[in-house]
Amino acid sequence: MAADEILLHIKDSYYFEVPGWLWRHDHKTHADFPDVWVRLDPDFQMWQAKQVYHELETSGETGMPSEHDFLHDYEHWTHLPGNHGKPVKRYFAHLVEAAPEGNLAWAKAGEEMTTLHSVAEYRAAKDIEWTPTKIQGYNNALSGKILIPQLPGTKLRNLYQKESGFAISKFMVIEVFVAIIMAIIFIAYARRVSKGQLPKGWFWNLIDVFIVYLRQDVAKANIHHGADKFVPILWTLFFFILGCNLFGLIPWMGSPTGSISVTVTLAVAVLFIGMGAGAKEFGALGVWMNLVPGMELPTAISIVIKPMMFVIELLGLLIKHAVLGVRLLANMVAGHVVLLAIMGLAIEIQSLSGVIAWPVGLVILIGCVMLSCLELFVAFLQAYIFALLSALFINSETHSH
């Protein structure tokens, strides 16, 4: 298995993957396949290119090459690095960009016409048939992939990228599921506490340990005053990140915190919370002035030094929150990459020798188990560190220097 194929398993996607025998596809014709799969098919793309060319020809566009030259150039373009699977719409966009002054009227018109000849029209065509070999190959490739239903109007470019609209990805589904689990657990916990009931049983005692520790040793220990109002935020950050991290250890799932869009969004949320609380404490202007440490300086020197300090502190504020998101991402991705590299090594050895010798297989198995245990520890550790650093940043933004 190639390195890029291995890394696809830790990327966000628009499907959940399970063993092929659990979710088999048995489509009979091209009309049965999902839109995103048909759109990536070379026959559909060539059919669309021909339809658009004929439409342009009928509309009387001038300056067009012959149909043979157009189709030949388009096919050659799709074989260039980075263009594999790209539809004819992107080829038209390429022609417009490459043309002198970007002024190819027929290419601009063709780019708009691609929406007229869609997958729905291709399905309805009576003279189109895919060979049994292609259908069987596509069924095998899709087996084990549970495609996530998308909202009307959403178009996927492939199983990892969207073309337009609001696309629901695997990580989004997992995040919502984590949020629902948190809501169920903590509503039940809050009801127990409101009735004065002590936690009973290993599960509720475990939850209580985390909650009390985060309140006493993370929030109150690092936020000098007014810590209680930030405790729910830190609880939410810790348990949400922990839940997302733990999902990465479940087979065929994934860790949303392995996506930079998730981790940076969490870091930006911490920044807004801290600066919002600071604005409430010092005022809309005072929160920015508070970035500069109080210094007793002569006026002449203060005029020069304080603006420089403000710029440095502002950059430091943005950088440390950016690093907060990136370090969570890096720590969560690193373990998955190492684990997948070891698994890829096992697959490579098997492909070369036909079978994995039992001593090698045993070593690989033990290594995977140990790394999984390490990832379990890291899942808790990174959630704690994120909550701890968030408390420190909020404290610095809500207190005078």
**223 SS3 class:** coil
pLDDT, mean of residues 65-88: 87
Residues of the chain with pLDDT > 90, as a percent, come to 29
Q: What is the pLDDT of residues 306-349, one digit of tens each?
A: 788 888 888 988 999 999 999 998 888 877 777 777 766 666 66
The residue among 37 and 366 whose pLDDT is bigger is: 37
pLDDT at res. 239: 96
> Rounded distance, CA 137 to CA 89, Å?
26
Closest CA to 210 of 186, 188, 227: 186
The pTM of this model reads: 0.83
Which two three-digit tokens encode residue 272?
């807004």
Q: What is the pLDDT of residues 176-230, one digit of tens each?
A: 999 999 999 999 999 888 888 777 888 989 999 999 999 999 999 898 888 889 9
pLDDT at res. 278: 87
pLDDT, mean of residues 122-137: 88
pLDDT, mean of residues 267-292: 87
pLDDT at res. 361: 65
pLDDT at res. 387: 94
Q: Which residue is listed with tokens 């300090």? A: 309
The residue among 123 and 390 whose pLDDT is bigger is: 390
pLDDT, mean of residues 388-392: 94
pLDDT, mean of residues 95-121: 80
Q: Which pLDDT band holds residue 383 (cuts at 50, 70, 90)? A: very high
pLDDT mean across residues, the chain: 84
Q: Which pLDDT band holds residue 353 (cuts at 50, 70, 90)? A: low
Task: Count how many residues are written for the chain.
Answer: 401
| 3-state SS record for 36-75 | HHHHCCHHHHHHHHHHHHHHHHHCCCCCCCCHHHHHHHHH
On the question of pLDDT at 264 being above 70, the answer is yes
Which two three-digit tokens encode residue 251?
């087979």
**164 SS3 class:** strand
- Measured in degrees and rounded to the nearest 5, phi and psi for residue 146 equal -95, 100
- Measured in degrees and rounded to the nearest 5, phi and psi for residue 266 equal -65, -40
CB 91 within 8 A of CB 77: yes
Domain residue ranges of the chain, discontinuous segments joined by +: 30-142, 181-398
On the question of pLDDT at 355 being above 70, the answer is no
On the question of pLDDT at 232 being above 90, the answer is yes
pLDDT at res. 357: 59
pLDDT, mean of residues 131-154: 90
pLDDT, mean of residues 59-88: 86
Which two three-digit tokens encode residue 280?
């409430």
On the question of pLDDT at 271 being above 90, the answer is yes
pLDDT at res. 6: 46
On the question of pLDDT at 4 being above 50, the answer is no
pLDDT at res. 3: 42
On the question of pLDDT at 284 being above 60, the answer is yes
On the question of pLDDT at 301 being above 80, the answer is no
> Rounded distance, CA 243 to CA 256, Å?
9
Q: Which pLDDT band holds residue 352 (cuts at 50, 70, 90)? A: low
pLDDT, mean of residues 245-251: 86
Q: Which residues contact 146 (CB under 8 A, 6 or more apart)?
A: 15, 16, 17, 18, 23
pLDDT at res. 346: 66
pLDDT at res. 299: 66
pLDDT at res. 216: 92
